[in-house]
Amino acid sequence: GIQKIEVADVQKEHMLQLLGNDPVKFLNYASGDSVVTLMYTSALYGYNNQPPVTVTSSAARVMKKNMMEYLGLDPLDTDGFNRKYRGLEKVSHGKFKLPDRPGFCESTSLEPISDKACFVQRYASSAYHGGYNCCSEVGFFPYETHDYDLRNAYPTAMCLVPDIDWENAVKFHIQNRSMDIRDFQISDDGFNPIAPFIGYCRFEFPDSVRFPCIPVNVDGVPMYPRSSEGLDGVYVAGPYIYLALRLGASVFCENGYFLNTLLTPDMHESRSLSYAVVQFVRDRTHAVAKHGKHSLEELILKTMVNSGYGKNSQNVVQKSSWSAYKDKMETLGCSAITNPVSAMMTTSIVQCVLLASQNQLHELGFMSCSVTTDGFITDCPYDGLTKLDLFGFRRCMEQARLFLTDGKDAELWEEKHHQNDLINFTTRGNVSLLTHGVCAQQCEIRLYE
Q: What is the pLDDT of residue 447?
A: 39
* pLDDT exceeds 60 at position 92: yes
* pLDDT exceeds 50 at position 328: yes
* pLDDT exceeds 90 at position 82: yes
Total count of residues recorded for the chain? 449
Q: How many CB atoms lie within 10 A of CB 3?
A: 7
Tell me the pLDDT band of 246, cut-offs 50, 70 and 90: very high
More confident residue, 303 or 250: 250
d(CA 355, CA 362): 11
H-run or E-run covering 5: helix 2-21
Instruction: Report the share of the chain in percent with pLDDT over 90.
Output: 60
* pLDDT exceeds 50 at position 220: yes
More confident residue, 40 or 331: 40
Tell me the pLDDT band of 46, cut-offs 50, 70 and 90: confident
Tell me the pLDDT band of 326, cut-offs 50, 70 and 90: low
* pLDDT exceeds 50 at position 448: no
More confident residue, 95 or 268: 268
* pLDDT exceeds 80 at position 29: yes
**Could you read off the pLDDT of 155-203 as tens digits, one per residue?**
999 999 999 999 999 999 999 999 999 999 988 778 999 999 999 999 9
Mean pLDDT of all residues belonging to the chain: 88
More confident residue, 175 or 302: 175
| DSSP notation for 293-318 | TT-HHHHHHHHHHHHHHHHHSTTSS-
Task: Average the pLDDT over 272-294 and give the result.
Answer: 91
SS3 206: coil
Please, are residues 236 and 217 in contact by the beta-carbon 8 Å criterion? no
More confident residue, 296 or 444: 296
Please, are residues 129 and 347 in contact by the beta-carbon 8 Å criterion? yes
**Could you read off the pLDDT of 351-368 as tens digits, one per residue?**
999 999 999 999 999 999
- Please choose, from the candidates 166, 158, 169, the residue with its C-alpha nearest in 3D space to the C-alpha of residue 63: 158
Tell me the pLDDT band of 349, cut-offs 50, 70 and 90: very high
Instruction: Report the share of the chain in percent with pLDDT over 70.
Output: 92
Distance of CA 400 to the CA centre of its chain: 16
* pLDDT exceeds 80 at position 5: no
Task: Average the pLDDT over 14-37 and give the result.
Answer: 86
H-run or E-run covering 394: helix 393-404
Task: Average the pLDDT over 258-272 and give the result.
Answer: 96
Could you tell me which residues come within 8 angstroms of residue 353 by beta carbon, excluding any fewer than 6 positions away? 150, 153, 157, 390, 393, 394, 397, 412
DSSP state of 269: B
Distance of CA 353 to the CA centre of its chain: 14
